Chain A
């Protein structure tokens, strides 16, 4: 298909761009296959705005006389308004944008056309292989093995080709367990706590059904992670009644009789449409222009967003507590094991593992616990908070995870190597990107699409030193310990960097950030200077001594 067919009017002049907290600018609007480009005509201060069509969440048009206005609402929550003279032009542009922003074929997406302007130093597609992770693990324990049972994605379509499982469980047993778990997602290693050798596993729900089916291999598998005489915890992300209801549909939960060494804890982490509605309500409240203080707080409350944050953090802390403080192994699952399960396991690692608080470690975590673990990014991030369509697959699951990380970051501002911008970057790229990293719903789909061959990885770009420096936290000091966040309502705040990003004056906050960076930078410069002088002085002094002796 030619994009040109979809572009009815490729260019319009005398267009006026309106953005909150910016003066209106007049300029030229151009449409290309993947971008909406606005460039101001002012010679002195030429300004360009490039917007990916895939970033456009919804578009509205209205007319006053022959002046048309298009309001574009983006997946990164920004809202811009374009005044376009000429009714026909405006209609053409609006319908072109609509068509281009809702392409249904993945292979037409920008990542397949994007040609990087930078030199690739390291191919991000192979930066974070599970084999490397396993090597790391093997240096501390030999109780685990890499299994290639899923190498052709036949055992579990949403798992990666290789997974880490207890050494004593062979591939044959894994195949049997896969049949006993929803979607074939048998328990695999998510995290190994070196400090005490405890493990965190994740899976999907067991298919016990109404007649209490059991699977000996499943029991053996998860029991293999226990120390003799010790118990483990199953953290089910559904409340008990939901888990019970799931039995009617063939699902279920681990029953005490068959898993006597495991204690089950039910948490309640909301799913899909509830989260999406909450997201929409919150963004609505943030964009509300009314003046009343009370309405703001009640809308914030009514959105329930922060309640989800609190519940999620609590569940993650609980998992971490079981592992670190109780010295117990943990199995986490919900229904499918692709959403709330991953939120809990990845956040628990942020709390427990200092490596995950570095830039590279966090990237590895996102790759391992989200991309390879089969979180269906394409379904979940197809639309953002402005979408009108009522598709049931969209949900801000990944955004919630990022926000929880931000909440912990806020409480431990010196313990993370990356800054808030890094989290915002991941949010943006999960929803719209020139890179192929977040395309597809799992590794199997990515392999079929040949993403590593045909698209560029986000990591290839972001890990270049010149990009990385933008995401470094100036006040980072490696903290090797477990960090326990507070989950009290007083300790949780709205993530302004995402939700108020486009509708608050940010100048003063940016200045403060700059000031922080400068304080650290100046300190480091002085440190370096002092070191040089000290060395010089020492050299001269020894020289002097030598001369003196001569």
Chain B
């Protein structure tokens, strides 16, 4: 479709005209501008909703909201075209078969061996060994070998040594979806562990001997402690309501030596609505400070984030400081349980705060234990009530921790944002399906590529310059402040307003420091070479001519000194100016507010966008990235598409 206008949400004056293409996998918008021909690529799987708005004089507006929080506002001249695009997108955005997803056609030009290597990058067996199991207390169980006991669990599960197959099977029958207690994290230092399961089918009075023995076995696997915590991550009321359906929670009277604890995290429906409300706030056209803060509070989002953090902090404290093992569950044990276990692991073990460790953590607590990626993130057309930003919340928890502990993580914010992006993109096979079983049946590893290998290859882009493995913040357990520092939880505009670069700091300290560090490394190398050469020269004073290949260092290293800022133009500071008369009568009410930027600017600065680069202090865009190349690492390898639009913006 030609002559489509792409509107900039923040300022209507920055609309661009171009051509819209629909392909089997992407929506592509190509700008008409002769030189740049900027392209915006959006994967169909990223589309969360499409809204056709009432036709106006200029055309038919189409609003595409994406799961990575991009909002694309198009105006298509012909109503008929718009309708066709709308209908096609609705179909394309909701594939019904896995085979339609992008990862089955995506080919990053790697050979078979490289692909296999990629899948081997994260190895959970290795991870459990790193934790220190199997050992005297824990062993691998093959009870779920053919997914015979629990189809949403992995085949290899660690259980206490004293838990026999009989106990495991018995316990599994007493747990929702047969998700019996299994090891999530083992603390080598003091034998305390974090185990996870689903809720018990206790109803009002039911008991299960094997389940009680199972919990006993977990306690025994930690000889240093005479009880375990059982943490139910649901609000008490929800858990009690479940009893009427024959489910529920552990009765302290029936289980010996447990301490039962509720930590109220709301369910997926509350979280879905909360995110929805927060995104509405983010989308407000020119919100006042009150609108924004009030809306943010009203969404409850940060409160939910804090609840998850608090649960993680509680468990980490129990394990690290009290040396007590913890069993965590919610209802099915695949949403809140995954969040809480992974936050606790992250706090406890510095390894998970490294890039590789973080991949392992997601693989362990989310992928292998049957977090329902397909349902939660709507990869295939399904029940909209199953969709919920569960892992988004976990990722935000990590970001909140990074803000509080700036030196503790090996990776940076961009790493988190790109992981979130790919959980929805379906470009890599990692997060397909709802369980390991389904992934094996689909032969994901043979037919798709692994995200982890892709991220690992580009790891230079994801490094936190402040991280040093020998820094004190890097060691041991992290102790975030709990109360009364609520103000520590902040709105993450880098994620939820990710595509509105205008809202973000225009210069990135992280990128700047990375560039400096890279230069430092080169200096170190040069220093070595120079010293060697000097030594040689001193040896042979005779004056052998050493060909000096002096590099033009000032040029090479001068690069980083230019600013890291993104394009920067004034916003519409006068947008609330009703009393200010418009100079061009043809413009409507809304535009009269834009007087300062509309007519005069157009006459004096015919090429605003070219000017804007100047304004930002960016002499050369290529200098922003430490690697010297494109500043934003390619997400769609080669077509770094959805961000390209902002490069020259």
Q: Which residues of A contact B (CB under 8 A)?
A: 240, 263, 265-266, 286, 288-298, 300-301, 304, 306-307, 309-310, 314-315, 317-318, 320-322, 325-327, 410-415, 475, 477, 479-484, 486-494, 496, 500, 503-505, 508-509, 511-512, 515-516, 519-520, 522-523, 526-527, 529-530, 533-534, 536-538, 540-541, 543-545, 547-548
Contacts and interface: CB of A to CB of B under 8 A. Distances in A.
13 contacts: A301-B297, A325-B600, A411-B505, A412-B565, A481-B617, A488-B571, A490-B282, A504-B485, A504-B487, A523-B517, A533-B531, A544-B542, A544-B545
Nearest to A548: B543
B259 interface: no
Contacts of A414: 507, 509, 512, 563-565
B296 interface: yes
A505 B10 CA distance: 36
Given A512-B406, A512-B407, A544-B537, A293 B489 contact: yes
A103 B9 CA distance: 55
Given A265-B577, A293-B303, A523-B520, A410 B296 contact: no
Interface in B416-439: none
A526 B507 contact: no
B487 A296 contact: yes
B555 interface: no
Given A293-B486, A411-B504, 6 more contacts: A412-B505, A477-B562, A480-B617, A482-B615, A488-B502, A491-B493
B88 to A, nearest CB: 33
A306 B483 CA distance: 23
Contacts of A415: 507, 563, 565, 617
Interface of A is mostly: helix
Contacts of A543: 543
A22 B485 CA distance: 16
Nearest to B564: A414
Contacts of A481: 614-617
B523 A297 contact: no
Contacts of B570: 317, 320-321, 325, 484
Given A318-B596, A519-B516, A534 B543 contact: no
Contacts of A496: 487
Contacts of B596: 318, 321-322, 325-326
A165 to B, nearest CB: 27
Considering the complex of A and B, which 4 residue pairs feature the smallest CB-CB distances, nearest first? Answer: A544-B543, A489-B292, A512-B406, A297-B297
B13 interface: no
Contact of A325 (B303, B504, B580, B597): B597
Pick the most buried of B484, B500, B542, B548: most chain A CB atoms within 10 A of its CB.
B484
B289 A306 contact: yes
Q: How large is the interface on B (under 10, 10 to 19, 20 to 34, 35 or more residues)?
A: 35 or more
A144 B569 CA distance: 31
A489 B293 contact: yes
Contacts of A511: 406-407, 471-473
A304 B81 CA distance: 47
B385 to A, nearest CB: 26
A529 B502 CA distance: 40
B293 A301 contact: yes
Interface in B293-337: 293-294, 296-297, 300, 302-303, 306
A243 to B, nearest CB: 11
Contacts of A318: 573-574, 596
Nearest to A475: B512
B524 A526 contact: yes
B519 interface: yes
B329 to A, nearest CB: 25
Given A293-B302, A484-B569, A516-B513, A263 B580 contact: yes
Interface string B540-575: 011111101010000000000111110011110110
B292 A508 contact: no
Contacts, number: 249
Contacts of B291: 489
B571 A486 contact: yes
B542 A547 contact: yes
B534 A489 contact: no
A525 to B, nearest CB: 9
A322 B570 CA distance: 11
Contacts of A489: 287-289, 291-293
B520 A519 contact: yes
Contact of B523 (A325, A479, A523, A540): A523
B516 A523 contact: yes
A486 B527 contact: no
Contacts of A314: 573
Interface in B450-474: 465-466, 468, 471-473
Given A296-B487, A412-B565, A484-B568, A490 B520 contact: no
A548 B472 CA distance: 55
B502 to A, nearest CB: 6
Interface string B271-300: 000000000001000111111111011001
Given A322-B596, A516-B466, A519-B517, A479 B563 contact: yes
Nearest to B565: A412
A515 B601 contact: no
B604 A327 contact: yes
B526 interface: yes
Nearest to B531: A533
A363 B293 CA distance: 34
B404 interface: yes
Contact of A526 (B471, B472, B485, B520): B520
Contacts of A533: 527, 530-531, 534
A310 B288 CA distance: 8
Contacts of A310: 288-289
B506 interface: yes
A547 B543 contact: yes
Nearest to B523: A526
A413 B617 CA distance: 13
Given A293-B306, A483-B568, A516-B509, A544 B615 contact: no
A492 B497 CA distance: 13
Given A301-B294, A484-B568, A500 B487 contact: yes
B300 to A, nearest CB: 7
Contacts of B21: none
A544 B544 contact: yes
B207 to A, nearest CB: 36
Contact of A519 (B500, B513, B616): B513
A530 B530 contact: yes
Contacts of B505: 410-413
A276 B408 CA distance: 39
Contacts of B616: 481
A322 B596 CA distance: 7
A337 to B, nearest CB: 21
Contact of A508 (B282, B293, B404, B573): B404
B293 A306 contact: yes
Contacts of B145: none
Interface string B608-645: 00000011110000000000000000000000000000
A538 B568 CA distance: 43
Interface in B570-590: 570-571, 573-574, 577, 579-580
Given A322-B596, A488-B503, A508-B473, A240 B484 contact: no
B481 interface: yes
A43 B573 CA distance: 58
Nearest to A20: B484
Nearest to B465: A519
Contacts of A534: 530, 550
A543 B617 CA distance: 44
Contacts of A297: 293, 296-297, 302
Contacts of A541: 537, 545-546, 548
Nearest to A540: B537
Contacts of A493: 490
Contacts of B545: 541, 544-545, 548
Given A294-B303, A489-B293, A538-B548, A505 B507 contact: no
